[in-house]
Structure 1
Amino acid sequence: MASDNNSNMIDPAIFEYLKAHGEEEIEVGDKLHQISAALNRNISTCQGLLSRIHSTPSSKLAPLLKQVEETGIHPEIEGVGELAQFASKYPYYKYNNRWARSIQNVVGTILLTAWLGGMGTESQPGELGRLLTIEDIGGILKVPVNLKDRDAFHVTIEEYLLALTDITEELSRLAMNSVTMGDVALTVRISSFIKDLFAGFQLLNLKNDIVRKRVDAVKYHVKKVEDVIYDLSLRNLLPKTE
């Protein structure tokens, strides 16, 4: 009899609740996986197009950048919009690890395209060397950035900073390839930019281990480009203004 009484003390509603919420989490996870997978395909397309910058002189980049925007970045923006609409229905920090890397990659493609002279508008035409702010990124993606007042999808400062470290790596590679294409001026421009960017990173109080490690790696990108500039100076190949 005692055993029967103890078994009756467990409320079946507890397990019904757990079952319902467990199934909801599975459904949310599956939907996020579908949205993220589609977004990652768009990112791969965009990154593939951007890889052509390493074999395209800067004087001929405009058509390529236009293609990057239309075929790569615009679908990325649509994918982020779909993700933001769905993800904002649920606690942000419960699921954000599922898309953080994807958002970082999206931001990186936009930053690199803009730096190369793309992403221009009527009010602000594209210009080589232009660095978009995190607010600019939010405006392009049509999503909030660095939210503090509510629990919703947004682009974080961490994602922006990590994307910046990504483009320094890509630009350091471009600096070397630009020399082989005879575009020394672009190499010099890249060198100045990534040195200024690294100096800016030093002003930040970085407590996040991932960001700090990635920022530490930027100094190697700086050194790689400095070595190229030094070699050019020895060969007397730098523009006279330098």
Structure 2
Amino acid sequence: MDTSTPLPTNETLIEFSTAVPWREMEQQKRQFNKALAEAQAAIHKTTDDTLDLDQLSQIVGVPVTSLYDLSRTDNANVLLAEVNGKRYVLGSAVSARYRSGKSLLESIGPYNLNPSVNHTNLHETDEPMTKMRHLGAEIELGLVHADGVSPSEDEMQAFIQAYYRHGLRAGIYPHLDREACQYQVEAHIAPSIGYEKTRKALEGIMTALVASGEETHLRTAVLSSYPTESDFRTTDHP
């Protein structure tokens, strides 16, 4: 792999998909997702929320490992499958700080991207009955004063209310969701059929964000989750 760029080369993608055929990976992911859903559905019947990697490996059909020590259940973690010396992500969980009281097992989310699908085999993955797919988007951004100081909760709420008003005028979904950081919000575009609808909704979001920033004198930092002059503070919002 060319280490001068964070992106894999076409040769690397082809090599990976040769070692791990996309159909096999798809089947392994389906088996994992099914086993995970069954384990999460049964968690209320037992106090044991540990993950049995040996059992998961048998179900999936390939070795399943964790990136970090599973005994440290309060930490974030990633579950990996390994095929022919190549590893890929099956699922992951955030740390206990962001789980709203849920256990590690309850917090694991499946990772459905198939990295063995690339430009050489994309045509093979098409469903014969599906010609169009739903497309949505989301934008996460931080809010910050021009001098780098963090906004207060009242100022955050003022921005959210301003976005609501400007969003309604733009004809988009006018709500901003709160994130783990107090100074971070997320705007959504509901999945719909047709790229044009999504593009128009994205334009509406950007318009509402700009207008809300002008009204509240807060700046949006798309590449930052919290202001540069502030400690990371978690939101009180549930």
Q: TM-score, normalised by structure 2?
A: 0.25
Q: TM-score, normalised by structure 1?
A: 0.25
Pair member with larger Rg: 1
